[in-house]
């Protein structure tokens, strides 16, 4: 059994951001938020097409001349590429020289260990692969790039204009993607039992798209309300001397 050493002051011990995850180059991952937030985006993403693929924490290989170079977006949407139809043929990664369709939207969830690269503040090191920003903007030319900072609840959206990303204005509701007839904004609520601010999709009416659990809950509530109305009507008819069994 592990026992904490009382001699070592707690404030001198490394935090979760000081210690490597499974991959030493992926600092701070995985964590609960990086599990739940992509799931909420996946559950509520309903674009106006039947052919779309969603990836989350999936290796994306982008250079056929350097086949071991990849980036791992927190979440991305590809329009025009169908989802896997079975477990047997499900994707192990997203390989550009096989898919031929670049993502429509990238979403990165800021972490202390990845913030600089996510925001395009790091420069490429000679002899090393290009940065994440360079890959999304210059190589894949992804039309939209979203960044969400869960600590400040700041949501930023960049759109590819000619050869570079330009930050877009986000309304109180969020950012609307006319191409897929969906909007992306910050929703305040509880998901998977965790209260906070979340990125979530909404429809043309400005309503948040429901998860399966929320949809079932609302259906049950409607059924309960209908039953209550039926019971009240039956009670009123009986008070008027009407035998419902004889109707």
Q: Buried (b) or exposed (e) across 8-29, using 16+ Cβ within 10 A?
A: eeeeeeeeeeeeeeeeeeebbb
Residue 59 sits at φ, ψ, to 5 deg, of -60, 130
Of 6-15, 66-75, 79-88, the poorest mean pLDDT is in 6-15
Task: Write down the pLDDT at residue 3.
Answer: 41
**Dihedral through CA 176, CA 180, CA 184, CA 187, nearest 10?**
120
- The mean pLDDT of 200-205, rounded to a whole number, is 98
Which tokens in the block code for residue 9? Answer: 């002051």
Quote the pLDDT of residue 103: 98
In CATH, what number does 10-209 get? 3.90.1570
Per the CB < 8 A criterion, the answer to whether 175 and 185 are in contact is yes
- Parse the chain into domains and list their residue ranges: 10-209, 210-247
In this prediction, residue 9 carries a pLDDT of: 59
In terms of pLDDT, which residue wins out, 55 or 121?
Answer: 55
Best-predicted range by mean pLDDT among 26-40, 44-58, 105-119, 122-136? 44-58
Report pTM: 0.82
């Amino acid at each position: 059994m592990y026992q904490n050493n009382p001699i070592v002051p707690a404030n001198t011990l490394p935090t979760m951001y000081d210690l490597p995850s499974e991959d030493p180059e992926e600092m701070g991952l995985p964590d609960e938020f990086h599990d739940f937030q992509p799931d909420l985006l996946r559950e509520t993403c309903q674009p106006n097409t039947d052919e779309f693929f969603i990836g989350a924490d999936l290796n994306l290989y982008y250079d056929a001349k350097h086949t071991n170079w990849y980036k791992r977006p927190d979440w991305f949407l590809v329009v025009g590429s169908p989802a896997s139809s079975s477990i047997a043929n499900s994707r192990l990664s997203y390989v550009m020289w096989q898919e031929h369709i670049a993502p429509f939207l990238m979403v990165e969830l800021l972490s202390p260990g990845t913030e600089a690269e996510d925001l395009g503040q790091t420069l490429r090191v000679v002899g090393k692969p290009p940065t994440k920003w360079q890959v999304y903007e210059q190589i894949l030319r992804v039309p939209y790039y979203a960044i969400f900072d869960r600590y400040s609840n700041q949501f930023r959206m960049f759109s590819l204009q000619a050869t570079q990303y330009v930050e877009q204005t986000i309304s109180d509701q969020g950012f609307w993607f006319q191409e897929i007839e969906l909007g992306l904004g910050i929703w305040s609520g509880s998901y998977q039992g965790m209260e906070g601010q979340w990125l979530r999709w909404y429809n043309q009416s400005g309503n948040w798209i429901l998860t399966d659990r929320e949809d079932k809950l609302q259906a049950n509530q409607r059924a309960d309300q209908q039953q209550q109305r039926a019971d009240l009507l039956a009670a009123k008819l009986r008070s008027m001397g009407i035998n419902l069994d004889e109707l």
